[in-house]
Amino acid sequence: MFANHHLELFKNTETPFYFYDLSVLNSTLAAIKKAAPAEYHIHYALKANAHPALLKIIREAGLGADCVSGNEVKRAVETGYPNNKIVFAGVGKSDKEINYALDHSIFCFNVESIHELQVMNQLAGNKNTKANVALRINPNVDAYTHKYITTGLEENKFGINPYEFDAVIEELKKLPNLNFIGLHFHIGSQINDLTAFKNLCARVNEINQWFINKGYLLPHINVGGGLGINYKEPDVHAVVDFESYFNVFKQFLSLQPKQEVHFELGRAIIGQCGSLISRVLYLKHGINTNFAILDAGMTELIRPALYQAYHKIENISASNKKTVKYDVVGPICESSDCFGKSVELPETNRGDLIAIRSAGAYGEVMSSRYNLRDQLNSVIL
């Protein structure tokens, strides 16, 4: 929902641009604080949006950082996240990235294969240091989400499968430069059915018990992120129901008293505070449809083209009561450059402002320079 002062500002700003509404971000952070027990460690997944100004606000709310590249670790360090609150995951960390993170003594590496454990051990040894590692486990739990953003199934490339556990334990005994401190899980993204997290808890309990039986009581259990947002109604559900989410873990995760729980949330924190604001360039009558052609495209928000994702589209400057259906498309030379088909909007004119909502997560970070598009500015208010 945009207030008059937003519209005044937007009218005088070159489009397209990303708009981040800090009131939504701050309400979200307050809701997390209220819902999460004090002993839960929440890490913000930088991959969703790594804008320094937003990172600073999230850090000030007390969250840690979940990174998936050396540059994300660097961004977290540079925006003031304490080293002992930075975790680093990823199925293919390069030596350069590992070395950077070792130099900054980050809290933990989430390691995804036996081979990676061996390399990590060697690189830590070269620096005469020890790396804290958690094993990223593939729990084989269905997240009931889009197949491109499901990660916790055996067929996915992520994590270590249970049939490898014995071999991992044997290998760890030979790797003196690693401190084995935890288990890490992440089953997918945009998960709205909390049953998936309940099923995850059951698997975590089993796997945790397996390690305890082998003599490993691991102090840190990281259950990943993945909590979804409501793309259909970004105003009614601007803040996610964190209470129900954390309640699942309170109720179903059975850990030992000394075990601490970690989360890695991205989209649920940053998704709803962002919109992509653009202007209508042209209107065109197709055979069965009308096209509204925007100055923003899949280069600024690729989710609809890549995952057939729904984002609410609003004409925020039109005052017309009459509505018309449009295929809302961008200027890029690809047929998939379409934000929505048959979208009902007030009758639309050249120059009208169009907001594509819920673009805070996986919008700006996934933008590209394809067609040599300009890199966009963002407006933070």
Footprint of ligand LLP (CB under 6 A): 45, 47-48, 66, 89, 149, 151, 186, 189-190, 224-227, 264-268, 303, 307, 361-362
Min. distance of Cβ 47 from ligand LLP in angstroms? 6
Q: Which is nearer to ligand LLP, 75 or 303 (CB)?
A: 303
The H or E element spanning position 232 is: none
* DSSP one-letter string for 268-328: HHHSTTEEEEEEEEEEEE-SS-EEEEES--TTT--HHHHH-----EEESS-----EEEEEE
In the bound complex, what is the minimum distance in angstroms from residue 265's beta carbon to ligand LLP? 5
Rounded Cα–Cα distance for residues 380 and 8 (Å): 14
Q: How far is the CB of 185 from ligand LLP (least distance, A)?
A: 9
Q: DSSP H helical segments within 64-135, as ranges?
A: 70-78, 95-103, 114-126
Nearer to ligand LLP, 294 or 309 (CB): 309
Q: Please identify, using beta-carbon distances, which residue of 2 and 197 lies nearer to ligand LLP.
A: 197
Q: How far is the CB of 364 from ligand LLP (least distance, A)?
A: 12
> Residue 264 CB, nearest distance to ligand LLP (Å)?
4
**Residue 281 or residue 306: which is nearer to ligand LLP going by CB?**
306
Residue 280 main-chain phi, psi, to 5 deg: -80, 125
Angle at 38 between CA 179 and CA 50, to 5 degrees: 70
- Residue entry with tokens 């909590």: 227
Q: Where do the H-state alpha helices sit in the chain?
A: 4-11, 22-35, 52-60, 70-78, 95-103, 114-126, 165-173, 195-213, 242-252, 267-270, 303-307
Shorter beta-carbon distance to ligand LLP: residue 43 or 373: 43
Nearer to ligand LLP, 268 or 298 (CB): 268
Q: How far apart are CA 122 and CA 128, in angstroms?
A: 10
User: If you count them, how many residues does the chain have?
Assistant: 381
Q: Which residue's CB is nearer to ligand LLP, number 59 or number 267?
A: 267
Q: Find the shortest distance in angstroms from Cβ 317 to ligand LLP.
A: 27
Shortest distance (Å) from residue 75 CB to ligand LLP: 16
Helix (H) or strand (E) run with residue 67 in it: strand 64-67
